[in-house]
Amino acid sequence: MGFDTTGSKAVSRPRDQYNYALQALGGPALSGLSRSDLQNPPARAAKARAGLPVTSARWLRDTGGVQRDDFYRLISRDEMARAGKRVERRLSPNASERVIRIALVFGLATEALGAQDRGAMFMRRPHMLLHDRRPVDQLDTETGARTVATILMRLMHGIPP
Protein backbone atom coordinates (compact mmCIF):
# COMPACT_ATOMS: atom_id res chain seq x y z
CA MET A 1 0.00 0.00 0.00
CA GLY A 2 0.96 3.64 -0.18
CA PHE A 3 -0.17 6.59 -2.17
CA ASP A 4 -1.67 6.02 -5.58
CA THR A 5 0.83 7.57 -7.97
CA THR A 6 -1.81 8.24 -10.64
CA GLY A 7 -3.30 10.90 -8.41
CA SER A 8 -6.77 9.40 -8.60
CA LYS A 9 -7.12 8.77 -4.87
CA ALA A 10 -5.14 8.28 -1.70
CA VAL A 11 -4.99 4.86 -0.13
CA SER A 12 -3.99 4.02 3.42
CA ARG A 13 -0.34 4.19 4.44
CA PRO A 14 1.47 1.01 5.33
CA ARG A 15 2.26 0.40 8.98
CA ASP A 16 6.01 0.50 9.01
CA GLN A 17 8.89 1.41 11.27
CA TYR A 18 8.50 5.15 10.71
CA ASN A 19 4.76 5.23 11.29
CA TYR A 20 5.10 3.10 14.42
CA ALA A 21 7.95 5.32 15.67
CA LEU A 22 5.92 8.47 15.02
CA GLN A 23 2.99 6.95 16.89
CA ALA A 24 5.31 6.04 19.81
CA LEU A 25 6.40 9.71 19.98
CA GLY A 26 2.81 10.94 20.19
CA GLY A 27 2.28 11.74 16.52
CA PRO A 28 3.23 14.80 14.48
CA ALA A 29 1.30 17.29 16.61
CA LEU A 30 2.96 16.27 19.88
CA SER A 31 6.46 15.49 18.60
CA GLY A 32 6.83 18.14 15.91
CA LEU A 33 8.15 15.38 13.63
CA SER A 34 6.80 14.02 10.39
CA ARG A 35 7.27 10.60 8.87
CA SER A 36 9.65 12.13 6.32
CA ASP A 37 11.69 13.71 9.15
CA LEU A 38 12.21 10.25 10.63
CA GLN A 39 13.14 8.73 7.26
CA ASN A 40 15.64 11.44 6.36
CA PRO A 41 18.78 11.38 8.57
CA PRO A 42 19.73 15.08 7.99
CA ALA A 43 16.17 16.19 8.80
CA ARG A 44 16.09 13.87 11.81
CA ALA A 45 19.39 15.33 13.07
CA ALA A 46 18.10 18.88 12.61
CA LYS A 47 14.98 18.10 14.64
CA ALA A 48 17.11 16.49 17.36
CA ARG A 49 19.40 19.55 17.45
CA ALA A 50 16.35 21.78 17.93
CA GLY A 51 15.22 19.51 20.77
CA LEU A 52 12.12 17.35 21.02
CA PRO A 53 9.29 18.54 23.25
CA VAL A 54 9.52 16.89 26.65
CA THR A 55 5.85 15.86 26.23
CA SER A 56 6.85 13.64 23.29
CA ALA A 57 9.45 11.85 25.44
CA ARG A 58 6.85 11.41 28.18
CA TRP A 59 4.45 9.93 25.63
CA LEU A 60 7.12 7.41 24.57
CA ARG A 61 7.80 6.59 28.22
CA ASP A 62 4.12 6.12 29.07
CA THR A 63 2.66 4.53 25.94
CA GLY A 64 5.47 3.62 23.52
CA GLY A 65 6.22 0.09 24.70
CA VAL A 66 9.27 1.10 26.74
CA GLN A 67 9.16 0.19 30.41
CA ARG A 68 9.80 3.12 32.74
CA ASP A 69 12.98 1.65 34.25
CA ASP A 70 14.43 1.07 30.79
CA PHE A 71 13.41 4.54 29.65
CA TYR A 72 15.04 6.21 32.65
CA ARG A 73 18.21 4.19 32.17
CA LEU A 74 18.45 5.59 28.62
CA ILE A 75 17.10 9.09 29.34
CA SER A 76 17.83 10.12 32.90
CA ARG A 77 15.18 11.50 35.24
CA ASP A 78 17.42 14.55 35.69
CA GLU A 79 17.43 15.24 31.94
CA MET A 80 13.65 14.97 31.84
CA ALA A 81 13.29 17.25 34.88
CA ARG A 82 15.68 19.86 33.45
CA ALA A 83 13.83 19.84 30.14
CA GLY A 84 10.51 20.27 31.92
CA LYS A 85 11.81 23.38 33.71
CA ARG A 86 13.12 25.11 30.58
CA VAL A 87 10.95 27.85 29.14
CA GLU A 88 10.73 26.05 25.77
CA ARG A 89 10.25 22.65 27.51
CA ARG A 90 12.52 20.84 25.04
CA LEU A 91 15.06 18.08 25.55
CA SER A 92 18.74 18.61 24.87
CA PRO A 93 19.98 17.55 21.42
CA ASN A 94 21.64 14.42 22.87
CA ALA A 95 18.53 13.37 24.79
CA SER A 96 16.37 14.11 21.73
CA GLU A 97 18.57 11.91 19.56
CA ARG A 98 18.31 9.05 22.08
CA VAL A 99 14.51 9.40 22.27
CA ILE A 100 14.26 9.26 18.46
CA ARG A 101 16.63 6.25 18.39
CA ILE A 102 14.50 4.38 20.93
CA ALA A 103 11.31 5.12 18.98
CA LEU A 104 12.85 4.02 15.66
CA VAL A 105 14.15 0.71 16.99
CA PHE A 106 10.87 -0.02 18.80
CA GLY A 107 9.09 0.89 15.55
CA LEU A 108 11.23 -1.57 13.64
CA ALA A 109 10.60 -4.29 16.25
CA THR A 110 6.86 -3.65 15.95
CA GLU A 111 7.03 -3.83 12.15
CA ALA A 112 9.16 -7.01 12.20
CA LEU A 113 6.95 -8.83 14.69
CA GLY A 114 3.58 -7.45 13.61
CA ALA A 115 2.35 -5.95 16.88
CA GLN A 116 3.55 -3.42 19.43
CA ASP A 117 3.29 -5.85 22.34
CA ARG A 118 5.40 -8.43 20.48
CA GLY A 119 7.97 -5.77 19.58
CA ALA A 120 8.14 -4.64 23.20
CA MET A 121 8.55 -8.23 24.38
CA PHE A 122 11.39 -8.80 21.89
CA MET A 123 13.16 -5.71 23.23
CA ARG A 124 12.92 -6.92 26.84
CA ARG A 125 14.07 -10.54 26.37
CA PRO A 126 17.74 -11.55 26.20
CA HIS A 127 18.83 -12.45 22.69
CA MET A 128 21.51 -14.99 21.74
CA LEU A 129 23.06 -12.72 19.09
CA LEU A 130 23.59 -10.10 21.80
CA HIS A 131 25.35 -12.60 24.08
CA ASP A 132 22.15 -13.04 26.09
CA ARG A 133 21.73 -9.31 26.69
CA ARG A 134 18.42 -7.55 26.16
CA PRO A 135 18.01 -5.51 22.95
CA VAL A 136 16.71 -2.50 24.91
CA ASP A 137 20.00 -2.41 26.81
CA GLN A 138 21.83 -1.83 23.52
CA LEU A 139 19.96 1.39 22.71
CA ASP A 140 22.29 3.60 24.75
CA THR A 141 24.66 3.79 21.75
CA GLU A 142 24.16 4.16 18.02
CA THR A 143 26.27 1.03 17.44
CA GLY A 144 24.08 -0.99 19.78
CA ALA A 145 20.92 0.29 18.10
CA ARG A 146 22.30 -0.65 14.67
CA THR A 147 23.12 -4.14 15.94
CA VAL A 148 19.54 -4.60 17.16
CA ALA A 149 18.20 -3.19 13.88
CA THR A 150 20.34 -5.67 11.93
CA ILE A 151 18.91 -8.57 13.95
CA LEU A 152 15.39 -7.32 13.28
CA MET A 153 16.04 -6.85 9.55
CA ARG A 154 17.43 -10.38 9.32
CA LEU A 155 14.32 -11.64 11.10
CA MET A 156 12.05 -9.72 8.71
CA HIS A 157 13.80 -11.15 5.66
CA GLY A 158 14.06 -14.72 6.96
CA ILE A 159 17.84 -14.74 7.26
CA PRO A 160 18.92 -17.26 9.91
CA PRO A 161 21.11 -16.17 12.83
Q: Report the C-alpha gap between 139 and 131 in whole angstroms.
A: 15
What per-residue confidence (pLDDT) applies to 85?
A: 83
Range of the domain at 70: 17-156
Q: Residue 15 has what pLDDT?
A: 78
The count of domains in the chain is: 1
Burial of 131 (0-12, 13-18, 19+ CB in 10 A): exposed
pLDDT score for 8: 39
4 domain residue, yes or no: no
Residue 27 lies inside a defined structural domain of this protein: yes
At 34, give phi and psi (nearest 5°).
-115, 170
CA dihedral sign, ordered 140, 141, 142, 148: negative
- State mean pLDDT over 48-74: 92
Give the model's pLDDT for residue 9: 43
Average pLDDT estimate for 109-137 = 95
Q: Full-prediction pTM beyond 0.85?
A: yes
The answer to whether residue 11 sits within a structural domain is no
99 part of a folded domain: yes
At 14 the pLDDT is: 56
In a domain, 81, yes or no: yes
Q: Which residue has the higher pLDDT, 86 or 136?
A: 136
Quick check: is 52 in a domain? yes
Within-domain flag for 36 = yes
How much is the mean pLDDT over the chain? Answer: 89
**Assigned domain for 58 exists:** yes
